[in-house]
Structure 1
Amino acid sequence: MKRIITILVLISVAFLLIQCNNSKKKPRPNITNNNVNNNYNFDNPPIFRNDTELAFIDSETGDILFTIEAEVASNDTERARGLMYRTDLEENQGMLLLFSREQTQSFYMRNTLISLDIIYVNSDLEIVDIYDHTNPMDETSLPSKDVAQYVVEINAGLCEKYEIEIGDLIAY
């Protein structure tokens, strides 16, 4: 009888440890969009999806400078579309583009009606380059000056307004 009780106690403890461990894991954003529509245009713009929260962090003080709701673009189709065809974007909204590895990234503003700040971020989540106040509809390439694994797009002027600078960090 003691043996059965001991086994049941051990199983219960193991179960509790597994549950506690699972509850501490930070949920990752849902980066699979089963509703990808490749037929977006100016008359049929994509609707913003709030996939995750993203914070900009001052690298010197650790203070949060600004937080946005981010739509995540994790596949080639979503990354290529980016914020094209959008007629507006709330101040607290943006896009997080995920890449599988660090490399020089380059974007342009084709079919993008709103001016953006484009922020290049390395694999350590450190901001390595910023293009602020990009020109809507401009097809000039805007390459990162350093390798980046993430790109964040937000409304133009927000980097200046919230003092987001190269060297600062992001967290999502």
Structure 2
Amino acid sequence: MVAMKTISLRRALALVLALGVVALVGVARAAALEPLTVITATGRHSFTVEVMRSEDERERGLMFRGYLPADRGMLFDFKATEPVSMWMKDTFISLDMLFIRRDGTIARIVENTEPQSTRIISSGENVLSVLEVNAGTAARIGAKPGDRVVHGLFER
């Protein structure tokens, strides 16, 4: 019986250590936040975004997260202008997706996506990037196709 308690204690310590590593990775990710502004008819709306530049980062996106602060988002850099498809598999929060052209103008907005859905969400045209923000954000800031996103990723 004592040996079983020792094994359980070792497992518990390993779990605490693993959670600590996950927390440190989260802190490292937070250090890579970048400013982004969406300009709409209602004004300039500032966000802080994580930029997903690698294939692995783009595949992971906001999967498995249960919360996204109101002033935060995730910007996907696809490196080339092309049709883009997204989905919500393993994403636990509803999002708005803003599909953005190379010049920073919004091509399409898909609001209130369904969490954990495997339904394909298409850009509808060639885009360079997708901005994901909390569901309801696009309506709250009055975002429409043709509005402008300002970030170093886009041509000026």
Same fold? TM cut 0.5: yes
Stretches (4+) displaced over 6 A: none
Q: How far did 1:100 drift?
A: 1.3
- The answer for the alignment partner of 1:21 in structure 2 is none
Q: How far did 1:67 drift?
A: 1.1
Q: Which has the higher contact order (CA 8 A, sep 6+)?
A: 2
The structure whose residues are more often strand, as a share, is 2
123, 130, 148: which one pairs with 2:102? 123
- The answer for the alignment partner of 1:37 in structure 2 is none
- 1:77-127: CA deviations, max 9, x gaps? 000111101110000010011111100001000000000001100000100
Specify every segment of 5 or more residues in structure 1 that has no aligned partner in the other structure, as ranges. Answer: 1-43
Q: TM-score of the superposition, structure 1-length normalised?
A: 0.69
- The answer for the alignment partner of 1:157 in structure 2 is 136
AA of the residue aligned to 2:122? P
Q: How far did 1:52 drift?
A: 0.5
The structure whose residues are more often helix, as a share, is 2
- The answer for the alignment partner of 2:77 in structure 1 is 98
* CA–CA distance in structure 2, aligned partners of residues 136 and 76 of structure 1: 22
AA of the residue aligned to 2:57? E
AA of the residue aligned to 2:111? D
* CA–CA distance in structure 1, aligned partners of residues 123 and 76 of structure 2: 14
- Whether 1:109 and 2:91 are equivalent positions in the alignment is no
Specify every segment of 5 or more residues in structure 2 that has no aligned partner in the other structure, as ranges. Answer: 1-21, 152-156
| Superposed counterparts of 1:58-97, under 5 Å | 58=40, 63-64=43-44, 66-97=45-76
Q: TM-score of the superposition, structure 2-length normalised?
A: 0.76
